Amino acid sequence: MANRKYIVGNWKMNGLRTELTDIADIAAIAGQNKQVDVAICPPVTLITQAAANSPGFTIGAQDCHYAKNGAHTGCLSATMIREAGAIMTILGHSERRADQHESDAEVKAKAEAAHAAGLGAIICVGETEEERDAGKAVDVVCGQLEGSFPDGADPHWLTIAYEPVWAIGTGRVPEASDVEEMHAAIRHKLGKLMDEGADTVRILYGGSMNGGNAAELLAVPNVDGGLVGGASLTAEKFGPIIEAAAAS
């Protein structure tokens, strides 16, 4: 039996209170496509208000710290994120791995902290263009997955997102055959990392997914949904992706 599709919007550093009207518009579309699990991860400043609006889908965060508390200026613990109203969090996004120099070990620790606080976690993995051109894409991604994989991982709270770094926000998308190969490799690696449940861990595709290509990408074997960036900022762009997932 195929996994329920999971469509997650990552607003990144976008969004003010005046733009929360899009949450209501997205909620209306999600309500018409209840066979799809939908989440929006806005900036932390909007989590509480977005959750308080009871949109009917998951509100998540974009990161959390691995410590429960302490001298970590500017950081937020998983318990703080949960208290704000988030139900899950994205971890190890390539932009954080590159810009904040996050290591696999740090992502692993964050995932374990998120789970301990009662949050779901999406762990992101992906290769650069240079790594793909060198024929190292599968090895790099599976290596990231192994290094970032949390102890006690369970499909009820863990999701994996494959995001080829060179496709994020560029409009470039891998061939469907390349996506199929990578998602199959991730599924195989999960089987080695977990005692059971590897087949039901959802693997999302991220990297310039939009209303025009969502149906094709979501039809690829082992693609259980999408982690969507810019196209998740408005109902006009995000809605067709949700609808494509419902039809897949």
Q: Residues with catalytic annotation? A: 93, 163
User: 120 - beta bridge partners?
Assistant: 88
Q: How far apart are CA 220 and CA 153, in angstroms?
A: 25
The rounded distance, in Å, linking the Cα atoms of 153 and 150 is: 6
DSSP states of the chain as a string?
Answer: -PPPPEEEEE--S---GGGGHHHHHHHHHHHT-TTSEEEEE--HHHHHHHHHT--SSEEEES--BSSSSSS-TT--BHHHHHHHT-SEEEES-HHHHHHS---HHHHHHHHHHHHHTT-EEEEEE---HHHHHTT-HHHHHHHHHHHHPPTT--TTTEEEEE--GGGTTTS----HHHHHHHHHHHHHHHHHH-SS-GGGSEEEEESS--TTTHHHHHTSTT--EEEESGGGSSHHHHHHHHHHHHH-
User: Is residue 193 classed exposed, middle or buried when 0-12, 13-18 and 19+ CB atoms within 10 A define those classes?
Assistant: middle
